[in-house]
Amino acid sequence: MTILKKSVLSLLLIALSSPSFAGFSVGATRVIYNGNAKEASLSVKNTEDSNIYLIHSWVSADKEGEKVPFITTPPLFRIEPGQDNSIRITQTSSSLPQDKESVYWLNTLAIPPAAKEKNSLQFSINTRIKLIYRPTALNNKEAIAKAWQQITFSRSGNGLTANNPTPYYVNLTKVSINGKDLKEGFMVPPKSSTKIDNAPMGNSISWQAINDFGGLTEKAKASI
């Protein structure tokens, strides 16, 4: 048997990104960290009947090398079959902007037990969800609920630009131009814009947004 074949048949640990998978799940699609809170939390569950998972949790940033002002507790723990547990997120720095939200990523890597059979694949799944820091002054339910309605759109050639004048991150989904859907949703940063290249042509746009609880807002429509 060649070295390549041996490598393929060896026990592999493959990291994937997924919101959930058979055997392990998280209790939310995003975590909101309010500025006046001592901590935030995320529930996790082992839905297996027999397998124990080792869970590694951490917070990361989009930009490589960027300092992350949050830690998770516990960073590493076992979760028994059928057991629930909670990951606590704590802010370690007060340097974040207070006039707009900041976003990071909360990672939970679920590592299964070593496979007993030889020549079998073993998968380690990384569940990655948004961790949104919301300054105390912005914790206004009415303003948060209406932020997605304040998004405006403009065209430049075959590109579409979404403009966000609010201090909140807005996660758009089900965006449609003249009845033609964009392939995927996108996030518009606070007091900034996001450009989508090769957007469908048309002068009528509709969209929905994902709220703090992972649900969908009603549909909004506008002219471009």
Least confident of 4-8, 66-70, 90-94, 151-155: 4-8
Q: What is the pLDDT of residue 114?
A: 76
Q: What is the pLDDT of residue 122?
A: 65
Does the structure show a pLDDT above 50 at 203? yes
Q: What is the pLDDT of residues 107-141, one digit of tens each?
A: 999 998 876 666 656 678 899 999 999 999 999 99
Q: Indicate where the chain has its CATH 2.60.40.10 domain(s).
A: 14-137, 140-223
Q: Which amino acid is at 143?
A: A
57-115: pLDDT as tens digits: 999 998 888 999 999 999 999 999 999 999 999 999 999 999 999 999 999 999 988 76
Query: What is the structure's pLDDT at 21?
Result: 58
pLDDT band of 53, cuts 50, 70, 90: very high
Q: Provide the mean pLDDT of the chain.
A: 89
Superfamily of chain region 14-137: Immunoglobulins (2.60.40.10)
- Percent of the chain whose pLDDT exceeds 90: 77
Helix locations, the chain, DSSP H: 3-9, 141-146
Instruction: Please provide the CATH number assigned to the domain covering 140-223.
Output: 2.60.40.10
Q: DSSP letter at 136?
A: G
Q: Where are the beta strands (DSSP E) in the chain?
A: 12-17, 20-21, 24-26, 30-34, 40-46, 53-60, 70-73, 76-79, 84-91, 102-111, 121-134, 152-156, 159-164, 170-177, 180-181, 186-188, 192-196, 204-210, 220-223
